[in-house]
Amino acid sequence: MPRIPEDIIHQVTERNDIVEVISQYFPLKKAGNNFKAPCPFHYEKTPSFIVNPQKQIFHCFGCGVGGNVISFVMKKDGLTFIESVRHLAERVNIVIPEEQASKELQHRKNFISEIFEINQRAVEFYKKNLLIDKSSESQAARDYLKKRKVALDTVRIFDIGYAPNSWDGLCQFLTKNGFAIEKIEKAGLAIRKNDGSGFYDRFRNRIIFPIYDIRSRCIAFGGRDLGDGSVKYLNSPETPVYTKGRHLYALNIVRDFIHDQNGLVVVEGYMDCIAPFQAGIKNIAASLGTALTTDQIRLIRRFTDKIIFLYDADSAGQNAMERSLELLLQEDMEVKIVQLADGMDPDSYVTNFGFQALQREIDQARSFFSFKLEILKKRYDLKVPEGKSNIAKSLLPLLNQISDDIKRNAYLKELSEAIGLPESVIAGQYVKMKQYPKDSDQTGIPLSQRSRLQDYQKIEMGMIRLMLEEKRYIEKTKELISVDDFQDKISRQLLEKIYEIFISGQTVNAVKLINIIEDQDIQQTISNLMANDELIVGNKEKMHNDYVNRIIKDRLKLKRKSLMQEIQRAEQSGDDEKLNELKLEFTKILKQNV
């Protein structure tokens, strides 16, 4: 994908006032120099979400999320960086040059737009046939939904429709409205006859479930047969706008409920999603298949890091959950699993037992580990050593995907108790199995996630804050401090970027820094840094001098420590020439004063 020029990104952030943009989503209340509101990304009673119009940043002191106007749109609408920039550019009529770079690219954009338009007109056609058409077939479709207890409001929310039992009803409708039959075929809605003499509708005599992307653009359809056809459910093929395994049914509808309910409930099919939603389970979406793919997991990750599986109780549903586990853990997702009674699916369960019963099942969802452990205990004999060993070998690789030491140790303890072996034995086996240890470097932990910062980290972050506020502190710092003088991993990255922007002659500020750094954790570190006014108290000049002195002292201290270690090695190896050089250098370091 072509990159958008930096000057265009800068224009987008300059012309999209962050207060105006966020106010279009929910009301903001003036609070001193800032604006406040309850955070849209987690539940809270006391507002801790602030928007600073001067610095053009937002930050939540509750959950740590933050950034600039582009970051907000990415997080709130679940868009990529490029999509967010384009959305905001359209808002203020900024033309992105690369969008007009070639006729081929423009032709492709027009083609994609036409596919979306065809799909949307098909949605209207199917809805009209379900809700307005007086034929006996349409009445049968309405009766079917009534039998399934799907309310009219729900039909409208999900844009449910009906494909009539005619060979080319949709094709005729679309061609009469000016769409070429070849384009309708490309959209996956028409099929060419075997003899090449014409086309017929893909969906006939079916309840239609439109599938939307996260931007609420119709990308595909699913159809439930109302006759005696051999294929109960039929889905769109892959098209220029639809790739299987990249989307979730209803995610565009429920995304705002995900934050309120602290997680996403994932089911398999359309009705498994619609029936619980209608009953009151609003944070629910369907995977449109079996096991979740990496693309789907990363899409969910834009909104939450918690998934509750609510798959069918049959073996296919259980196997699908198992296949998804490793991918989910690799993406640092928290996974819980609801196990319904045998023979039940979410649709039948909520229809028979109601909202409260299903909500109770969700609230009592088991951890992925307990779920997997229970399956393995049925599969292997715990009375023999081989059975215990097989269970441990099956679970330990999953634990290696978990970055949280506390959670991992808790699961190791649970495994120990379940198979009746000492925890030390299980832990020893885990260490032996683990080939690629997770990086536990404390300096790589995002600022928003650290419970206590080291002194040097506070000083370096304070220095960054001063430089982002006033250009003169960049000039003074650059004369005395190099990137390597910073000990904290994130601080070094920020200082390096600040120096790069400064050397290029551009203005350095928090918004620009957020634009060029893609790591969301570092973006949140910047927003936290700029939102926390307690970091800058008193005389800024004195603060800067104190920071410089401390950083230089720390640099000399580390250098002395390094030289001492080299001197010891030289003494042990008997290298007198090297030893004398090191001692001379060490003496020079001792004489340096700040």
The CA distance from 52 to 35, in Å, is 7
Residue 163, token pair as written in the block: 């494909």
Percent of the residues in the chain that have a pLDDT greater than 70, as a whole number: 92
Selected residue with higher pLDDT from 354 and 106: 354
Q: Which residues pair with 225 in a beta bridge?
A: 206
What CATH topology corresponds to 105-235?
DNA primase DNAg catalytic core, N-terminal domain (3.90.980)
pLDDT above 90 for 212: yes
Percent of the chain with pLDDT over 90: 38
Residues 85, 301, 253, 63: what is their CA dihedral angle, to the nearest 10 degrees? -90
H or E element that contains 104:
helix 103-131
Phi-psi category of residue 93: left, alpha or beta, with phi > 0 → left and psi -120 to 50 → alpha: left
Q: In this model, does residue 270 exceed pLDDT 80?
A: yes
- Asked if pLDDT for residue 442 goes beyond 80, the answer is no
Q: How confident is the model at residue 215 (pLDDT cuts 50, 70, 90)?
A: confident
Query: Which tokens in the block code for residue 249?
Result: 């049914």
> For 126-185, what is each residue's pLDDT tens digit?
999 999 999 999 999 999 999 999 999 999 999 999 999 999 999 999 999 999 999 999
More confident residue, 73 or 108: 73
- Copy the structure tokens of residue 339: 């196990």
What residue spans define the domains of the chain?
6-100, 105-235, 251-364, 372-433, 443-553
Q: Got the DSSP string for 445-478?
A: S-GGG-SS--HHHHHHHHHHHHHHH-HHHHHHHH
Which CATH code for domain 372-433? Answer: 1.20.50.20
Predicted pLDDT at 448:
40
The region that residue 289 occupies, defined by phi over 0 for left and psi between -120 and 50 for alpha, beta otherwise, is left
pLDDT over 80 at 305, yes or no: yes
Give the residue from 81, 159, 89 showing the smallest Cα distance to 122. 159
Q: Which two tokens stand for residue 528?
A: 């936290």
Asked if pLDDT for residue 538 goes beyond 60, the answer is: yes
d(Cα 91, Cα 15) in Å, to the nearest integer? 9
pLDDT at 196: 79
Architecture of domain 443-553: Orthogonal Bundle (1.10)
How confident is the model at residue 537, as a pLDDT? 59
Considering only CA atoms, which of 99, 122, 131 is closest in space to residue 8?
99
Q: How high is the mean pLDDT of the chain?
A: 86
Are 251-364 and 443-553 equal in CATH topology?
A: no
Query: Which two structure tokens, joined as six digits, stand for 560?
Result: 């002395």
For residue 15, what pLDDT band results from cuts at 50, 70 and 90? very high
pLDDT at 440 over 70: no
Mean pLDDT computed over 18-34: 90
- Res. 534 pLDDT band, cuts 50 70 90: low
158-185 core/surface letters (b: 16 or more CB in 10 A; e: else): bbbbbbbbeebbbbebbbeeebebebbb
Helix and strand totals (H; E) in the chain: 26, 16
Total Cβ atoms within 10 A of residue 316: 10
Query: What local confidence, expressed as pLDDT, does residue 244 receive?
Result: 87
Residue 349, burial from CB neighbour count under 10 angstroms (0-12, 13-18, 19+) = buried
Amino acid, single-letter form, for residue 524: Q
d(C-alpha 98, C-alpha 107), whole Å: 13
Element (H, E) at 35: strand 34-37
For the chain, what is the radius of gyration of the CA atoms?
Answer: 30
**What residues contact 556, with CB distance under 8 A and at least 6 apart?**
589, 592, 594
In tens, the pLDDT along 361-390 reads 999 999 988 888 888 888 898 889 899 989
Confidence grade of residue 445 (pLDDT, cut at 50, 70, 90): very low
User: How far is it, in rounded angstroms, from Cα 501 to Cα 219?
Assistant: 41
List Cα–Cα distances, 46 to 39, 347, 364, in angstroms: 9, 37, 27
| Better-scored residue on pLDDT, 326 or 255 | 255
C-alpha torsion sign, points 6, 494, 474, 589: negative
Gap between the Cα atoms of 119 and 187, Å rounded: 7
For residues 40 and 313, the model is more confident at: 40
The CATH number of the domain covering residues in 251-364 = 3.40.1360.10
Q: Assess whether pLDDT exceeds 80 at residue 114.
A: yes
Q: Binning pLDDT at 50, 70 and 90, where does residue 217 land?
A: very high
pLDDT digits (tens, 9 = 90+) for 495-529: 999 998 888 888 888 888 888 887 777 888 888 88
- Residues 97, 101, 105, 106: is their CA dihedral positive or negative? positive
Residue 69: partners with Cβ closer than 8 Å, 6 or more residues away: 12, 13, 16, 17, 18, 21, 22, 56, 88, 511
The pLDDT tens digits of the residues spanning 323-365 come to 888 888 877 789 999 988 777 899 999 999 999 999 999 999 9
Would you tell me which CATH number, out of the four given (3.30.450.40, 3.90.580.10, 3.40.50.1000, 3.40.50.300), belongs to the domain 6-100?
3.90.580.10
